A = this chain, B = another copy of it.
Amino acid sequence: MSGYPQPPSGYGYGAPPPPQKEQYHQDHHNYQPSPQYATPYAPPSAPYKPDKPPKEGYSSYGAGSGSGGAYPPPPGYASPFASLVPSSFPPGTDPNVVACFQVADQDGSGFIDDKELQRAISSYNQSFSLRTVHLLMYLFTNSNARKIGPKEFTALFYSLQSWRGIFEQFDRDRSGRIDLNELRDALLSLGFAVSPTVLELLVSKFDKTGGHSKAIEYDNFIECCLTVKGLTEKFKEKDVKYSGSATFTYEAFMLTVLPFLIA
């Protein structure tokens, strides 16, 4: 255990805000802050806290709101294949990030595709499967277009750096894998309190050994975090009253869920 506070009884996605990783709690959707915001635990009637108001800087993903808010969440899921609007690097971007993108974007189009992204991030982190890359692209662009521009790339790059740090923090024996309890702590540090049943399911799904090691390696840890974070945010979009329940039409349900299932 790492000293992270435990979630209240009755798990929800109201994990206490982590002390040091505030950027992960920003959100690109327009949730209104409320007085609950100041309390570390949301009251039982609202099992998760509203998101913090956006700050300057990078939100953890979905940061692709270019100048003028060019990438709002697609209204009514009308266009999951919406094309990306060209963007540029935010002021002050690490020159290494810019160089990394430019090497990948050989034709200078301002976008890189899935295989180019895979090469670009694998050189700075561990290797990533194409399906992890597709999930990253979907979540950082809010589109299935499978292209990514400088602004989204920068947000993605910094998030991967932070997640690498979190993984290493919780992989205390440097085994290259984190087990169920370590995953629970890691998800808590990102602001997600999931139930023991969900945790067990996550480990069984993302354990490359097919359930034998009951632990998750780094690339699957990233996929796991992306999945929990992405599904939780999509759920919250539908839970407008913060009641802990959300109603979906069949069409919205399918369009919400399918992008996470297969990549």
Contacts and interface: CB of A to CB of B under 8 A. Distances in A.
A253 interface: yes
A116 B146 CA distance: 36
A52 to B, nearest CB: 19
B249 A245 contact: yes
A18 interface: no
Q: How many copies does the complex hold?
A: 2
A interface, size bucket: 35 or more
Contact of A205 (B12, B200, B206, B262): B262
A144 B258 contact: no
Given A146-B211, A200-B81, A262-B227, A248 B251 contact: no
Contact of A260 (B11, B47, B261): B261
A119 to B, nearest CB: 15
Q: Give the most central of A220, A259, A263: most B CB within 10 Å.
A: A263
A115 to B, nearest CB: 8
Contacts of A130: 210
Interface in A205-238: 205-206, 210-211, 220, 223, 227-228, 231-232, 235
A207 to B, nearest CB: 8
Contacts of A70: none
16 contacts: A80-B200, A146-B211, A195-B254, A201-B255, A206-B262, A206-B263, A220-B263, A227-B262, A231-B258, A235-B248, A245-B248, A245-B250, A260-B261, A261-B261, A261-B262, A262-B262
Interface of A: 11-13, 47-48, 77-78, 80-81, 114, 130, 144, 146, 194-195, 197-198, 200-202, 204-206, 210-211, 220, 223, 227-228, 231-232, 235, 239, 244-251, 253-255, 257-263
8 A-B pairs with the lowest CB-CB distances in the bound complex, closest first: A205-B262, A247-B247, A205-B263, A198-B254, A201-B258, A260-B261, A245-B249, A257-B257
